[in-house]
Structure 1
Amino acid sequence: MGASESKLAFKEDVFRLAREDNIPADSSWWAQFYQLPESSDDVFALWSPNDVRSITLNGTDRPFPGGQVDPKKNLETLIYTCVARLKALQTRRCYPDVHHPIAPEILNCIRILTRLLPYIYESEHLNAWEERFFWQPRRPQQVYDTKHNRDGQYIDGLEPSKIIKQENGEQISTKEIGHPLGEELITILLDYMFFPSFTLPKRLNEKGEPELKVQYSIWVSGIGCRHSAGVTKENERNATEVVRLLLALCSKQLYVHPQSVADVDNKALTYITTQCDRQVSLSVVCSLLNTVLKYNPATWRVPINFAADGDVKMRLVNVSLQLLLVLVLYPAPQGETNAFRKAISRLHRVEDFQFIQQGMNLVLTQPISGMAAYLPGNQKIVPWAPELLVLFWELLQANKRFRSFIIETDRAHDFVVLVLYYAMDARQEPSKQGFVRMCVLILQTLSVESAFGMRLNKTFIGQESLPSVLRINNFHGTYADFLITSVHSLITTTKGRLESIYPALLAIILNIAPYVVELGRATSSKLMELFALLSSPPFLLEKESNHQLLGSLLQAMTAILEYHLKDNPRFVDVIVRGRQRFIALRDFTVEGALAELDRQAHARKDRASGNDSGVTTPARHPSIDSLRSPSTTLEHVPEHDAFAIGDDDDDEDGDNSQGASSSARMSSSMHDPTVPLQSRSMSEKARGKQPVGQGNFSRSAHGSRQSSVSSLPSLITTHTSHMQQFAATPEWLETWLPHLPLHTILTVIDNAIRQPIRPRAATAPSASPAIDAPNRPIEPTQTPLPQPSSPPKMQSFQWTSLSLGWYLSLMWGLIYASDIATNKGVNGIWTGTGIKIFNIASRSYDPISLRSPKGAVDAVGNTIVQRLGSFTFSGAGGANGAGQER
């Protein structure tokens, strides 16, 4: 179709589809649609969105909202024509010359269907027709007798020359003549993935003719196959087209609202994942997986733009990964088993796990490897790195053996660094919240394993070679130190953008806390900084559930003390030096907090007016009584200053009378045998108000899905604005403050105060112990805490229909953005269609790069693609709870 005249003639025939309905199905006129186009561009350019939509409407007026109408008969005939031709070329020789090339016709049929399906899915008025036409048993199609201007005979749509006649008085229109057309199409396409002379090398039979028999040979060596099938670039190009059509066929989820996407039965995906033959599904999953993992981006070659047509391998790898994720992530209807998810869950050979780990590592390490620097113009991040992280998460969830392999062979250390790199690199972009959230949930999935927590105590080496976004200045410590410090950075440097995943971030710390030993002083100070921020009055009074985050952090700090008190002297030292903060929290009152907020508001107002002569700046030494009295303020409690060793009054001789008396009262209550264990850290006032029977209160899991937090670095705001959203009351305070896990921490503090500070045995003696002692770790003379009687309780990610909707939205957002970046203009599969799972705000056709964002997706139900390539999802799915597997 190189000549403009032929393109104009073809375009006129496209117009005829909408202008003239009921074109005879047996007419040779239909053959031009799969014979004339020479490239994918011809099909997508000559079938404009308006051309396709015009044949989805049976009339000039659009149906009323919710109304169901059938499309033009020509649309049905066109689909039947393409499917019938695909089946014919696969099952018999259609040309006298047995060596006549059939690939062009196959590709044109595939491209036409790829063009049509998204516009069928977007049309709500075709829902009933789509269900009947594609997914119910195939029935005879009645043709129109144009010669006599009346309805004609019934035929088989896949064989127009076959006339269906009435038998025994049956109703012809309801007679079942074959499997549903959608199932027929899927079977044909899966066979074309392994068709000789198309997606596999050409084979000849004993007569010297091209073989037509499908052979389920895995494309490349790897899992399930030691030898590659020897596919050529032409085979890879054809396979890319088949995979793209399968993606289009399975993309019904793009046109469903995210709140219900997890509950909708996607008929195409249900059939592929639950009804296909086992040999077919295994061949498909191994071919796709091996193709993805065998790709090596770190080769010495001239870099090729991902959006260009030159690198066929890159295109195939990209769409193969996308189709694999679509198949593996699909939640099969209740009672059905997803064969593809089952296949990856059954992997057990160590060499397979090594193959997977090496293939993922090769791609994900590109941004932090030295190879990219030697390749001028090379993209630092492989375009499908986000999708590869999705696959890694799926393998961790579905395959326990793979999870154990990653952890027990210390590969988890590498993946912790890689996942943190992608999270830290994207954390400042509001449009990438969903991607950062997924990275955090990957770490949470790993952290629930006890072996992971124990292996984090390995010393971190090579920190200086990390990218600047991940490097910690003057870092010396273990992987646990590195992980906790990175979590602290994600919380405190994102200005509240990641508030929906703060529970998951704190759950990571909580899960590894029982196994941490020799925690560094700097890391311990980071934990105290988080405690200071989460226990500040502005934060606690901002939202009704914010105290749950504080409880989760306190639970983690308690676990460190209960399981490894003697092995964490620096952490104990930091806890003791910041003891006034814990005492202030124990005696927290709503009246005192509101008074402090008023004082801060007046102080800011005076500073803004330039009159600060009468303003009292917050002292760095807290006053305990100031928290108890409603008539006083919290001005002496250091709420927002960065925590540092020595902030509080550390010397025992320097404690004022108020602090000493408070410590004495705290000590007496903690050792009073009549006070229940859970209530020994309460104030007397709180215990007096406690209802009978609450002494054995079992605290619920902290960090629920609804928990959120404002911008932690800037928490000081007037309480007037807070009260418009949530009004704190003493009754509300009593529901959670008495049950905070403070008892262990206060017990350790009390024990450390009662005994002299002794340097650790490994520390050399000092000439001036009175000066050096306060700066040395505290070595308790006795263990004040009983050994935990039960193993640590892990906080796993809990899947809900809402969180699964977020996850599917994230995946389809990545696929959509990748398709737009790869296929320019109108050549995208879903370009210009009415997608509902997220909203398209603007477009850019530049290559996707996480370092140079091109896209965004907002909250589930309100997803926005602003610049393709970056994604933000928030507000769906719990961060904690039981139930790791889907």
Structure 2
Amino acid sequence: MGASESKLAFKEDIFRLAGEDIIPIDSQWWSRFLQLPETAEDVQTLWSPNDLRSLTLNTTGDRPPLHSQTAPRKNAETLIYRTIGRLHALQTKRVYDDPHMPIAPEVLNGVRILTRLLPYIYEADHLQDWEAQFFWTPRKPAEYLDPKSGRKKYIDGLNETKSVPEQQKHTALGPPLGEQLLDILINYLFFPGFTLPAKGDANGLPELKPMFVVWQSGIGAQKGVGMTKENERNAMEVLRLLLALSSRAMYLAPNVVAERDNKPLTYLTTQSDRQVILNTLCSLLNTVLKYNQNPWSFSIDLGPAKDSKQALVTYSLQFLLVLITYPVPDNGPNEFRKALGRLHRAEDFQFICEGLRQILMQPTSGMFRPVQRLTNQQTAAPIAPETLSLFWELLQCNKRFRSYLIDTDRAKDFVVLVLYYAVDAKDDSAKQGIVRMCVFILQTLSVEEKFGRKLNTPFTFQETLPAALQIPNFHGSYADFLIGHIHGLLTSSNRGLESLYPALLGVINNIAPYVQDLQRATSSMLLNAFVSMSQPSFLLANESNYTQLSSLLDAMNALLEHQQEENRRFVDAVVRSRKRFEALRDFTVDGALEELDRANKERKDAGEPTGVRSPIRNASLDSARATRSPTLSNVPEDSAFAIGDDEDEDDDATPTFSSAASGSYAAANDAVPLQSRSMSEKARGKLPAGQLTSFSRSTSRNTSTTSLPALNVYTSNNQPFSPSTDWLNTWLPFLPLHKILQVLDQQNGEPPTNSTTITTDDATTPSASPTKHAGAIGETALPPSAQGQSTHPLSQAYPANVPPLPDTITNAATTVKVQTFRWTTRALGWYASMLWGWIWAADPARVWAGTAVRLFNVLSQRHEISLKSPRGAVDAVGDTIARRIGGLSLPGGGSSSQTMREV
């Protein structure tokens, strides 16, 4: 729209929609909306938020019936009808006198109008019923008032020239309007002369039938169709509208987003047309994987708008993720996810691995780009977070891909890449979602036995990695490298990572049975973690903190049970920590509280701040947590693992572990904590099994699961936690200390003792045999060692606020336990928030900017920055997502530490 007069005319047309009475559907005036604009910016800028909201206002305060609405709402209906009807006509018949006239300008304007309008419909709560009826019920005749006769008349909304008799006004004219729109848009993704190169029919006229072919060579196609830049730009705009149609989730709260039916996505992911599904999936996937940005032309934060190819890749990846991650209601099959899970050819997997690696390795590559030399920093690909998400989805839904990745040793390369993104983001509160996802990727890989064995390969190229990924004085295997960085995440000063402790420990637990020749520094890290987690300040700070200690002990037991002879350095480290394990065996609440009192007294005598007064016996958590990090002369405390209330403040700087100091924990082993020993190991072994009935559900499980964890400062009945002897007796006798104490006896020259073995009645605690989860998306068959892992976002509704319970110690020493990631409704809310946050931030057209997004909050003070640099808004969005999921920023304002711990 080059001339200012044309722009003024278009703006006047927009004003007329909201300012006049109902405009007849058969008026030729409607065609101006599809003919006047010349660019996407014209539609975006001339149609202001106020103009759009004036079409959706609820002026009466009530929801009027469909056929007695105010004029603006009725005019909006007509605009939608006329736009969709024109899009359908342009792809089904020759509408121009000149059949060779291009259809692209009108198609693009129709696509842009709907893209601009739909988010404002979704944000209006009072339009939910109208939206459901208008878009998602069988299409009925549209009712209008004939200005000439003053009588009602009925017209087919998609064909304004077709009248309908009044007696048929309730007759369905076709499927729901939303489904028809989706079919039209999918056809336009494969339409010759629009998104595909022009093609003539038998008469030499432009082809009007969609051609379902794969856009790029790769999976499903040996040769691409040769899309032009114009084809790519057109496909990008159609994909943007498909995302806008699917963005209903943005206007829902995180706690309900996984439970609501997103009708556009339900229709797309459950349709039975195999040709559409496969060609769409392969076109999107190949477009992403074949994109190899020229490193010498890398731009600084220009966004996808400056590069049509990059824009197409970005929208293709985002729409692909929206499709394959959508949980179909009632556990129905997601056909796109199922198709992704059916890929099986080795050449396809090689193509996938190479494509993912090219995108993810940009910041870790040895070849520095000019922009990196100028800024002295390495730059990740703009779509790196979405690429990590795609990699995770492939691991979850395609067991053949997992096997290929591990068998070909490519998994080790991806471990390094995933660790880089986790380490790079760990200190940025706006990127905690990326850290979570990276950890869950590692946990998904670690359930495979072959993966654990492959990690014993020596790691010899650390000097080629970015500085953030290097471990000082490192030598060892991939297992040492992985455990070293997990230890770094565990001891990070960022309190936001506390919720990842179970998953991080789960990774160690899963690989422990297969790790060999663990180095001295790595062994020290594991023992350092044990020392911190067995401290009274840690165990008494939270009702469920003992589960983290139990998980770590499980990992140490697995090392000793399955690889003791191959890990002599680790055995030596355990032996040097003998007194620590014996002190834990004799742990009592009274002794722990006395020790904390003594620690505070020593700090007071030394002139150090003590904070709140020392806790007394049976004191509440509020008192106990005030001294959760005392520095004892004979008990090294480390606050890196302390999990208390959000308002806690450490008086001292947070100490960190030295990854190279093999004896850093040994100095404290000459002195035993002053804990009462009122219950001996033998006495605990005689406890009746019935005394711990509440644990019977988990005492003989062979696998345990980790979800978004529940580190609550409240008990299950929402009361403040107060450590007591009864609470201690529910978990201390069941800590997996048997194998460690047995090894200590053997190293001391004493015969092995079974005094720590606690048996259970098989009749009351039957073994839970692993089973597959019903309703899984795709055809994912879980490995025997990972039965019980769910790869479907809504396979089962697990409670997310119940911490995992420790497994009973049994004589089955060879049983390999696996801790798998498990989807919950709350986890899905986090995942949807993160994915749609990326989409919001990466969109140069600002489709959703200014609308009342509810899935995450957009910080207003950063909004203006995002208009100049859309990708720069990631920090604002990511920070809000992390806070929303963490419970730090609640919908009504205020904060809730309970909510934070439950997620």
CA 1:197 to 1:311, structure 2 compared with 1: closer, same or farther past 3 Å?
A: same
Match for residue 635 of structure 2? 637
CA 1:310 to 1:702, structure 2 compared with 1: closer, same or farther past 3 Å?
A: closer
Match for residue 761 of structure 1? none
Match for residue 247 of structure 1? 243
SS at match of 2:275: helix
**Which 5+ residue runs of structure 1 have no aligned equivalent?**
612-632, 667-680, 711-722, 757-784, 867-872, 880-886
Contact between 1:802 and 1:876, CA under 8 Å: does it hold in 2? no
**Which 5+ residue runs of structure 2 have no aligned equivalent?**
611-630, 639-654, 752-808, 891-896
Match for residue 154 of structure 2? 154
Contact between 2:255 and 2:826, CA under 8 Å: does it hold in 1? yes
* Letter paired with 1:726: F
Per-residue CA distance 1:578-620 (angstroms, 9 max, x = gap) = 1111111111111111122222223334444799xxxxxxxxx
Per-residue CA distance 1:817-850 (angstroms, 9 max, x = gap) = 111xxx2xxx311111111111222323225379
Partners of 1:692 and 1:180 lie apart in 2 by: 59
Q: 2:822 aligns with which of 798, 801, 804?
A: 798
Per-residue CA distance 1:613-637 (angstroms, 9 max, x = gap) = xxxxxxxxxxxxxxxxxxxx98633
User: Mapping of 1:13-92 within 5 angstroms?
Assistant: 13-57=13-57, 59=59, 72-92=73-93
* Letter paired with 2:314: N
Match for residue 836 of structure 1? 854
User: Mapping of 1:129-208 within 5 angstroms?
Assistant: 129-148=130-149, 150-166=150-166, 170=167, 172-208=168-204
Match for residue 110 of structure 2? 109
Partners of 1:543 and 1:416 lie apart in 2 by: 32
Contact between 1:289 and 1:324, CA under 8 Å: does it hold in 2? yes
CA 1:525 to 1:282, structure 2 compared with 1: closer, same or farther past 3 Å?
A: same
Q: How far 1:134 sits from its partner (Å)?
A: 0.6
Partners of 1:795 and 1:317 lie apart in 2 by: 35
Match for residue 394 of structure 1? 393
Per-residue CA distance 1:314-336 (angstroms, 9 max, x = gap) = 00000000000001011112263
Match for residue 836 of structure 2? 812
Partners of 1:610 and 1:569 lie apart in 2 by: 42
Contact between 1:803 and 1:877, CA under 8 Å: does it hold in 2? no
Q: How far 1:501 sits from its partner (Å)?
A: 1.1
CA RMSD of aligned residues (A): 3.3
Per-residue CA distance 1:405-448 (angstroms, 9 max, x = gap) = 11111100011000000000000011211111011000000000
Contact between 1:219 and 1:231, CA under 8 Å: does it hold in 2? yes
* Letter paired with 2:444: T
Per-residue CA distance 1:460-486 (angstroms, 9 max, x = gap) = 010111111110011000001111110
CA 1:650 to 1:61, structure 2 compared with 1: closer, same or farther past 3 Å?
A: closer
SS at match of 1:162: strand
SS at match of 2:214: coil
SS at match of 1:839: coil
Task: Please say which of residues 724-733 and 270-279 is displaced more in the overlay.
Answer: 724-733
Partners of 1:226 and 1:864 lie apart in 2 by: 50
Task: Please say which of residues 426-435 and 834-843 is displaced more in the overlay.
Answer: 834-843
- Confirm whether residue 284 of structure 1 aligns to residue 276 of structure 2: no
Match for residue 291 of structure 2? 295
Q: How far 1:547 sits from its partner (Å)?
A: 0.3
Contact between 2:447 and 2:818, CA under 8 Å: does it hold in 1? yes
Q: How far 1:60 sits from its partner (Å)?
A: 6.6
Contact between 1:500 and 1:874, CA under 8 Å: does it hold in 2? no
- Confirm whether residue 728 of structure 1 aligns to residue 723 of structure 2: yes
Task: Please say which of residues 97-106 and 360-369 is displaced more in the overlay.
Answer: 97-106
CA 1:852 to 1:831, structure 2 compared with 1: closer, same or farther past 3 Å?
A: closer
CA 1:432 to 1:335, structure 2 compared with 1: closer, same or farther past 3 Å?
A: closer
Match for residue 619 of structure 1? none
User: Mapping of 1:353-364 within 5 angstroms?
Assistant: 353-364=349-360
Per-residue CA distance 1:313-363 (angstroms, 9 max, x = gap) = 000000000000001011112263211101100000000000000000001
Contact between 2:426 and 2:432, CA under 8 Å: does it hold in 1? yes
Match for residue 435 of structure 1? 434
Contact between 1:118 and 1:830, CA under 8 Å: does it hold in 2? yes
CA 1:533 to 1:319, structure 2 compared with 1: closer, same or farther past 3 Å?
A: same
Match for residue 743 of structure 2? 748
* Letter paired with 1:113: L
Structure showing greater radius of gyration is 1
How many residues get paired?
Answer: 777
Partners of 2:399 and 2:902 lie apart in 1 by: 22
Match for residue 256 of structure 2? 260
Contact between 2:88 and 2:184, CA under 8 Å: does it hold in 1? yes
Partners of 1:741 and 1:101 lie apart in 2 by: 73
Partners of 1:877 and 1:448 lie apart in 2 by: 26
Per-residue CA distance 1:748-795 (angstroms, 9 max, x = gap) = 112112289xxxxxxxxxxxxxxxxxxxxxxxxxxxx99956541211
Partners of 2:900 and 2:82 lie apart in 1 by: 43
Partners of 1:175 and 1:285 lie apart in 2 by: 36
Partners of 1:250 and 1:735 lie apart in 2 by: 48
- Confirm whether residue 848 of structure 1 aligns to residue 847 of structure 2: no
User: Mapping of 1:641-656 within 5 angstroms?
Assistant: 642=657, 645-646=662-663
Contact between 2:344 and 2:400, CA under 8 Å: does it hold in 1? yes
Q: How far 1:851 sits from its partner (Å)?
A: 11
Partners of 1:50 and 1:850 lie apart in 2 by: 23
CA 1:542 to 1:401, structure 2 compared with 1: closer, same or farther past 3 Å?
A: same
Partners of 1:279 and 1:22 lie apart in 2 by: 42
Match for residue 681 of structure 2? 683
Partners of 2:170 and 2:566 lie apart in 1 by: 77
Contact between 1:18 and 1:55, CA under 8 Å: does it hold in 2? yes
- Confirm whether residue 418 of structure 1 aligns to residue 439 of structure 2: no
SS at match of 1:796: strand
CA 1:864 to 1:810, structure 2 compared with 1: closer, same or farther past 3 Å?
A: farther
Q: TM-score by structure 1 length?
A: 0.82
CA 1:592 to 1:57, structure 2 compared with 1: closer, same or farther past 3 Å?
A: same
CA 1:78 to 1:847, structure 2 compared with 1: closer, same or farther past 3 Å?
A: closer
Q: How far 1:743 sits from its partner (Å)?
A: 1.1
SS at match of 1:371: coil
Match for residue 670 of structure 1? none
Q: 1:708 aligns with which of 706, 711, 727?
A: 711
Match for residue 232 of structure 1? 228
CA 1:245 to 1:553, structure 2 compared with 1: closer, same or farther past 3 Å?
A: same
Q: How far 1:865 sits from its partner (Å)?
A: 11
Contact between 1:803 and 1:876, CA under 8 Å: does it hold in 2? no
Contact between 2:115 and 2:241, CA under 8 Å: does it hold in 1? yes
Contact between 2:138 and 2:176, CA under 8 Å: does it hold in 1? yes
Partners of 2:608 and 2:298 lie apart in 1 by: 62
CA 1:610 to 1:75, structure 2 compared with 1: closer, same or farther past 3 Å?
A: closer
CA 1:495 to 1:537, structure 2 compared with 1: closer, same or farther past 3 Å?
A: farther
CA 1:582 to 1:447, structure 2 compared with 1: closer, same or farther past 3 Å?
A: same
Partners of 1:337 and 1:207 lie apart in 2 by: 42
SS at match of 2:153: strand
**Percent identity (aligned):** 52
Partners of 1:806 and 1:649 lie apart in 2 by: 41
Match for residue 785 of structure 2? none
Partners of 1:177 and 1:649 lie apart in 2 by: 80
* Letter paired with 1:120: I
SS at match of 1:137: coil
